[in-house]
Structure 1
Amino acid sequence: MGKILLVGINSQYVHTNLAIRYIKNYVENYSSLKLEIYESSINNQLSAILMDIFEKNPEKIIFSTYIWNKEFVFKLVKEIKKIMPDTAVILGGPEVSYLTAEIMNENSGIDFIIVGEGEKTTLEFLSKGIEDVKGVYYRKDGQIKFNGYQLPISDLDEVPFPYSEEELKNSKNKILYYESSRGCPFECSYCMSSLDKSVRYFSLDRVKEDLKKFLHAGITLIKFVDRTFNIDKRRYMNLWKFLLDNYREEVTFHFEISGDLFDEETIEFLEKVPKGFFQFEIGVQTINKKTMNAIKRENNLVKLKNNVLRIKDNIHLHLDLIAGLPYEDYDTFKDSFDYVYSLKPEMIQLGFLKVLKGTLIFGQVETYSYKFLNFPPYEVLSNEFISYGELTDLKKIETVLDYYYNSENYPKSIEYLLKNHYERSFDFYEDLARYYDSRGHFKVSHKQVSIFNHLYEFYVYKGFYDIEIFTEYLKYDYLTLGKPGSYPYWIESVKNKEKYNEILKKMHFKSIREGHNKTEFEKFKYNVISDEAKEVEILFIYNRKETKIQEY
């Protein structure tokens, strides 16, 4: 057999494709076949990827297909068939696992589609005659054939660890994905994972063995792709205690969790986890009771809030919202936004409903008058509860939210602005988005200093009082980011240079020049640290991880 090429087209360079690694190692472990991996990203030129694949001269190409790369892969397949007509093109992944025959009829360059779990099916597909294999759509006599679905792997420990020792050694600056379970017990109407309601687990011993490999290699960010990691308390506590026993300062483990499932014992444990070691993504999605019922996702909002506030000081938190859900109009979405904002996570991910084929909500399109994009990412355009114009406004709010909240660059200035001029957080971001729109700021890209300038100019435009105090908070946020090459026009520098040099002489720098390069010193007319109406001088000490502050 000629060369078999597994292709992963990722959304970003730092990402890795877990599926093709599982397939490669599974097939090679249980047969004499050898597979080669080729990875790129949607940000690279299609023509360059086409050339790379052509030069590898594969007999079979297997593409991993997702919502972010489907259109790219389909275009690539058409071009491959022009220059390599005899090469078999196989697709797999969630984006081709539903309405599969229709996809093949519309895309003649696709020879086969593997549906469902890929490891065992791919091995059989490459080893047997196609008519003896389940889980594969294929062409025969001008028709699309399918022999039924493959049963999922019952013992997941059969699936080898996806990463080689060499790859781990060379992936310290990449995001590596890992799973300790497959499936999800919940039935959220918008989610593909709800289709696999049973949950299968890798054994605890196997997972611990795998985690040791990540820790030993010094990988800085490992993202668990388990749909809800904290289902089984005995299991997740066992694994978290194991990770804590093997703590490494530079390593972060990311988990998708349900925030209202933790009991007091778990919260007390999480309060003691070293800061930055764990990162949680929590899907709040909405606080509207009617919406929660419609999407089959119930959150205990009181318990969720209590749990988040208890652990937020040492667990890095991402909280998710989804706009465009049933019964969630623009006004009720404001309530969901304010609820999440009040919890002060590190990131608020304001997402928009994707109407995915195969999900329950896809079958409710007529019920709720959904209009959505007919191509990836299948994002909602409107429904009977929210208009396209209102969703467009939320898109703009999402942008300024990323600039001024998720960046974590404006903690002091935004807090001051909200505390003194707005009753609810949503109103501020809505106001700021409208200001951006009126000035045409959404139509151009911005350097960091421009984003600071826009916030200052917004404050002036609104005519808010105490602009001198606000400017001091904004100056503090700006100087906290790193050694400035230059100051924005609204910063008045009033540093005492002689005092600055005397302070540096007492510090452990090789020279005054090195001290200047790694610090900044400024006088503030208002004490932005203690929030008092008195002057303060602040030394900003810059290092790789964070800026340290000393008052004088």
Structure 2
Amino acid sequence: MDEVMKMRVVLAALNAKYIHKNLALRWLYVSRPASFDVQIVEGVIRDDPMNTANRISAYRPDVVGLSVYIFNAEETKALIACLLNLMPEVRIILGGPEVTYHPEPWLKLGVEAVVCGEGETVFWEYLQGKPSPSIQTNHQVSSEVARVDLSLLETMESPYFLELDEADMDKRYLYMETARGCPYDCAYCLSSLEKGMRRFSDAYLDKTFDRLADSGVKQVKFLDRTFNVDPVRALQIARRLTELPSSISFHVELVGDTLGPEIIDFFTSQAKSRFRVEIGVQSFNRKTLLEVGRFSRLDVLKKVILQFSEAGVHQHTDLIAGLPYEDYYSFKQSFNTLFSLNPFEIQVGILKLLHGTRLRRNHETYGYTFTDQAPYPITSSSWMSEEDMKSVESVANAVEKLYNSQKLRHTLSHWVEENKLDAFDLFLKVGNALRTLKHPYSQRDFFRCIADAVKEDVLLPLNRLKGDYYRLSPIYPQPFWEEGELDDQGKEVRKAIRNRLDSNKISVKHMKIVERADGKVGSDVWVYPALGKSHTVLRFDEKYNLESETVYESTHRDA
């Protein structure tokens, strides 16, 4: 009888991708009182909202709790409309960073309430009829942002190893946290609004890591805004993580200019294959950084990024275009400086004016124009025109497709160095060219477009592009360049190499002879066998002596 009387609650969220999981929903789930029957429903932002609404309505909920972020805000609005269409009487309660600092517009959509801040206790107390200053409705204005005592959370069932997640633990990221809060005060970031740090206890983390060892998880992403805020604790946790099975890798966010020698040595030598690190640079303009509340030691930061790069650490770095006092020329300099340090990835982002942040409140002071729809990117500032911002978007697109994909990362660095090019201008030229490609386009179209874009600036661009093209093609592709008939010398080269392959008993279904990518005299020979998924590049010198042999599997990306 008691089971029938339980209030039915569905906790739901739209994730960016299937591999992501919403930790906030899971904390709400494990904090539920016994008087509630609770289900979790997750979708992705590309799903049809009515399909997601039907999945939710199948549980006949009395209440639906939705987790809202800038990346899913517009899709969540569509989901709310579908839910109210299917279940006009359902109670909808929202939470998450996107609604915490401007709940009013969301209440106009027909939702009942917004939880401002952390909801592990407030959400359930509200449903039990208890008042809270962290709840906003059409009849009550919230007066504080809720914060939860982490020692209370430690007494609950772990949100990381729920039975509902067991089937796909190896297929999705596991998001974890060792602390909440951020000690920094960046004017563009919501984390700056939360003062002070709260940490989960070492005993709780140890118990969690023990269970992680046998969980089947492949990748753990820590949500801590600054993993190394306490350097001693950070190194202690990182070392503890390396004791776990080598099949598990970890992602952490670091403040680069505060890293000491010991933790740098750890990430660059002891555990570089286990960790993916993220370092927010944002800008190399000192005036810009000071204006937004960042006090980076830039010389130290550059040295650390370079150390990580030279050690081969999987390092993700960020720049933000549109910050105060950063004009087009200054941003170019920031980009070129970061590019010269050769990080594994460079994310070029456009400033987003998030509700609650100082830059959003003072947007008129900085001359910002922006899109008043999530994720609120700026379109211009007192220092950068709309045309400037469009150029940055072209660069960002080219960086993502050529550099961060690892398709042409080494080739681009080589071109910039050998031809004394401005890296930003090179990416801009390629980015503008890529805009002209009609979707969908083939890899052949992609490479032809790049070759045409750089031919006036790069000496012999095809030498390296041909190598990249075949490296990335598990199935023998048609050339993207114009080919003429072989002359006598070309026929002689082909015959000599054929003889070498035959003498080495190398099975060949398709073969392509191209110039050496390193520019030296000789040939690179791409061999596609009759069987198997791998393909091979054989490097010959000018006398047809085999110098090297490299096998590429079908999923290989790195040069």
Whole-angstrom CA distance in 2 between matches of 1:146 and 1:244:
43
Query: What residue is the counterpart of 1:410 in the other structure?
Result: 408
Query: What residue is the counterpart of 1:54 in the other structure?
Result: 57
Picking from 2, 9, 12, the partner of 2:14 is 9
CA deviations over 1:78-104 (Å, ceiling 9, x no partner): 222222111111111111111323431
Question: Secondary structure of the equivalent of 1:321?
Answer: strand
Whole-angstrom CA distance in 2 between matches of 1:249 and 1:544:
24
Question: After the TM superposition, which residues 265-344 of structure 1 pair with which residues of structure 2 at under 5 Å, given as runs?
Answer: 265-312=262-309, 313-344=311-342
Q: Which runs of 5+ in 1 are unaligned?
A: 507-511, 528-532
Query: What residue is the counterpart of 2:185 in the other structure?
Result: 187
Contact map agreement 2:317 2:346 (CA 8 A) in 1: yes
Query: What residue is the counterpart of 1:542 in the other structure?
Result: 552
Question: Secondary structure of the equivalent of 1:222?
Answer: strand
Question: Secondary structure of the equivalent of 2:196?
Answer: coil
Whole-angstrom CA distance in 2 between matches of 1:148 and 1:197:
13
Query: What residue is the counterpart of 2:380 in the other structure?
Result: 382
Q: CA deviation at 1:44?
A: 0.8
Question: After the TM superposition, which residues 126-275 of structure 1 pair with which residues of structure 2 at under 5 Å, given as runs?
Answer: 126=127, 128-130=128-130, 132-139=131-138, 143-146=139-142, 149-155=145-151, 156-158=153-155, 160-164=157-161, 166=163, 167-246=165-244, 248-275=245-272
Query: CA, structure 1 residues 547+399, in 2 after alignment: closer, same or farther (shift >3 Å)?
Result: closer
Query: What residue is the counterpart of 1:73 in the other structure?
Result: 76
Picking from 454, 477, 483, the partner of 1:486 is 477
Whole-angstrom CA distance in 2 between matches of 1:376 and 1:193:
18
Whole-angstrom CA distance in 1 between matches of 2:145 and 2:215:
38
Whole-angstrom CA distance in 2 between matches of 1:383 and 1:548:
38
Query: CA, structure 1 residues 88+259, in 2 after alignment: closer, same or farther (shift >3 Å)?
Result: same
Q: Report the RMSD for the aligned CA atoms in angstroms.
A: 2.8
Picking from 13, 23, 26, the partner of 2:31 is 26
Letter in 2 for 1:233: P
Query: CA, structure 1 residues 422+251, in 2 after alignment: closer, same or farther (shift >3 Å)?
Result: same
Query: CA, structure 1 residues 269+150, in 2 after alignment: closer, same or farther (shift >3 Å)?
Result: closer
Letter in 2 for 1:135: S
CA deviations over 1:300-353 (Å, ceiling 9, x no partner): 111112112223324210000000100000000011101111111111000011
Q: CA deviation at 1:515?
A: 7.2
Query: What residue is the counterpart of 1:431 in the other structure?
Result: 429
Picking from 532, 549, 555, the partner of 1:517 is 532
Q: CA deviation at 1:3?
A: 1.7
Q: Tell whether 2:454 aligns with 1:459.
A: yes
Letter in 1 for 2:115: I
Question: Secondary structure of the equivalent of 1:27?
Answer: coil
Whole-angstrom CA distance in 1 between matches of 2:326 and 2:447:
33
Contact map agreement 1:350 1:398 (CA 8 A) in 2: yes
Query: What residue is the counterpart of 1:448 in the other structure?
Result: 443
Whole-angstrom CA distance in 2 between matches of 1:513 and 1:235:
51
Q: Which runs of 5+ in 2 are unaligned?
A: 1-5, 484-489, 508-526
Query: CA, structure 1 residues 100+520, in 2 after alignment: closer, same or farther (shift >3 Å)?
Result: closer
Q: Tell whether 2:419 aligns with 1:421.
A: yes
Query: What residue is the counterpart of 1:396 in the other structure?
Result: 394
Picking from 83, 87, 91, the partner of 1:88 is 91
Query: CA, structure 1 residues 76+280, in 2 after alignment: closer, same or farther (shift >3 Å)?
Result: same
Whole-angstrom CA distance in 2 between matches of 1:474 and 1:263:
40
Whole-angstrom CA distance in 1 between matches of 2:280 and 2:403:
18
Contact map agreement 2:256 2:304 (CA 8 A) in 1: yes
Contact map agreement 2:320 2:348 (CA 8 A) in 1: yes
CA deviations over 1:381-412 (Å, ceiling 9, x no partner): 11111111110111011111112111111144
**TM-score with structure 1 setting the length:** 0.87
Query: CA, structure 1 residues 164+82, in 2 after alignment: closer, same or farther (shift >3 Å)?
Result: same
Whole-angstrom CA distance in 2 between matches of 1:451 and 1:179:
40
Question: Secondary structure of the equivalent of 1:272?
Answer: helix
Query: What residue is the counterpart of 1:475 in the other structure?
Result: 466
Letter in 1 for 2:113: F
Whole-angstrom CA distance in 2 between matches of 1:7 and 1:339:
42
Whole-angstrom CA distance in 2 between matches of 1:118 and 1:498:
72
Query: CA, structure 1 residues 215+169, in 2 after alignment: closer, same or farther (shift >3 Å)?
Result: farther
CA deviations over 1:412-445 (Å, ceiling 9, x no partner): 43233212323321121122234445xx22x534
Letter in 2 for 1:184: C
Q: More deviation in 209-218 or 325-334? A: 209-218
Whole-angstrom CA distance in 1 between matches of 2:404 and 2:95:
34
Query: CA, structure 1 residues 149+412, in 2 after alignment: closer, same or farther (shift >3 Å)?
Result: closer
Q: More deviation in 514-523 or 473-482? A: 514-523
Contact map agreement 2:475 2:528 (CA 8 A) in 1: no
Whole-angstrom CA distance in 2 between matches of 1:548 and 1:491:
26
Whole-angstrom CA distance in 2 between matches of 1:548 and 1:445:
24
Question: Secondary structure of the equivalent of 1:34?
Answer: strand
Contact map agreement 1:98 1:358 (CA 8 A) in 2: yes
Whole-angstrom CA distance in 2 between matches of 1:513 and 1:67:
46
Query: CA, structure 1 residues 148+344, in 2 after alignment: closer, same or farther (shift >3 Å)?
Result: closer
Whole-angstrom CA distance in 1 between matches of 2:147 and 2:182:
17
Whole-angstrom CA distance in 2 between matches of 1:373 and 1:351:
15
Q: CA deviation at 1:463?
A: 6.6
Whole-angstrom CA distance in 2 between matches of 1:154 and 1:407:
38
Contact map agreement 2:8 2:36 (CA 8 A) in 1: no
Q: How many residue pairs align between the two structures?
A: 522
Whole-angstrom CA distance in 1 between matches of 2:288 and 2:98:
26
Q: More deviation in 204-213 or 38-47? A: 204-213
Contact map agreement 1:10 1:16 (CA 8 A) in 2: yes
Query: CA, structure 1 residues 423+83, in 2 after alignment: closer, same or farther (shift >3 Å)?
Result: closer
Query: CA, structure 1 residues 501+190, in 2 after alignment: closer, same or farther (shift >3 Å)?
Result: farther
Contact map agreement 1:112 1:138 (CA 8 A) in 2: yes
Question: Secondary structure of the equivalent of 1:207?
Answer: helix
Query: CA, structure 1 residues 520+548, in 2 after alignment: closer, same or farther (shift >3 Å)?
Result: farther
Q: More deviation in 42-51 or 278-287? A: 42-51
Query: What residue is the counterpart of 1:509 in the other structure?
Result: none
CA deviations over 1:102-131 (Å, ceiling 9, x no partner): 431x32x101111111101122123x214x
Q: More deviation in 78-87 or 182-191? A: 78-87
Whole-angstrom CA distance in 2 between matches of 1:502 and 1:168:
53
Query: What residue is the counterpart of 1:45 in the other structure?
Result: 48
Contact map agreement 1:482 1:542 (CA 8 A) in 2: no
